């Protein structure tokens, strides 16, 4: 699969990062969720050109995937690259897109089975994480490019009834002190049991 992305659009900083993160998403979900529910949905939030949306289609065969990012040329590149796959693109702010995500596959809201979050360095933040966790996905895969904000997001996810199942640290910013933190969270308690 090939993406043609304009120079001003976001792409991962490290040349091998898109493949490494996509393989992590695919392997993690394939192992953790061998039986995908019928009519499953998955979300790729802060999805840019949809690289992780593509990984979700590999990991969750038959799932309808939604990719959300600010309206940009990256969204157009993603639509072009993933034409023919069950991926819908929502161009806009993630915080303002939850209503569209809820009814993406029809008029009745459908909670996602899995959510990939690849927020900016500031992290996803409590408002976004509350929107995600109230929909009770079984799996949340968080890709944090700042360990401090990833830790803040981790505290919010744990408080909402999720627990980290696995953690991978990737040196994606060579010759700097920055690392990416990839965490697979699973729902530990039912939403009504918190």
The b/e string for 54-67 (b: 16+ C-beta within 10 A; e otherwise) is bbbbebbeebbbbb
Biggest distance spanned by C-alpha atoms of the chain:
49
Mark whether 158 is an active-site residue. no
Cα–Cα nearest to 161, from 180, 136, 143 = 136
Give me the catalytic one of 25, 74, 145, 181. 145
**DSSP states of 61-83:** TT-EEEEEE-SSHHHHHHHHHTT
Q: Distance between terminal CA atoms of the chain?
A: 42
Which residues have a Cβ under 8 Å from the Cβ of 166 and sit 6 or more positions away? 28, 183, 184
Q: Which two tokens stand for residue 77?
A: 């590149």
Report, as residue numbers or ranges, the catalytic residues: 145
């Amino acid at each position: 699969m090939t993406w043609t992305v304009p120079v001003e659009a976001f792409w991962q900083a490290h040349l091998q990062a898109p493949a490494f993160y996509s393989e992590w998403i695919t392997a993690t979900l394939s192992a953790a969720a061998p039986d995908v529910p019928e009519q499953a949905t998955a979300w790729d939030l802060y999805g840019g050109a949809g690289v992780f949306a593509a990984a979700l289609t590999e990991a969750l065969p038959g799932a309808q995937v939604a990719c959300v990012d600010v309206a940009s040329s990256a969204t157009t590149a993603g639509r072009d690259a993933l034409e023919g796959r069950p991926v819908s693109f929502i161009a806009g702010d993630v915080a303002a897109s939850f209503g569209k995500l809820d009814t993406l596959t029809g008029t009745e809201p459908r909670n996602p089975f899995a959510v990939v979050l690849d927020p900016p360095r500031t992290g996803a933040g409590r408002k976004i994480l509350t929107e995600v966790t109230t929909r009770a996905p079984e799996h949340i895969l968080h890709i944090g490019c700042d360990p401090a904000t990833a830790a803040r997001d981790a505290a919010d996810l744990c408080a909402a009834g999720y627990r980290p199942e696995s953690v991978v640290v990737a040196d994606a910013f060579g010759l700097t002190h920055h690392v990416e933190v990839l965490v697979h969270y699973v729902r530990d308690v039912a939403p009504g049991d918190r």
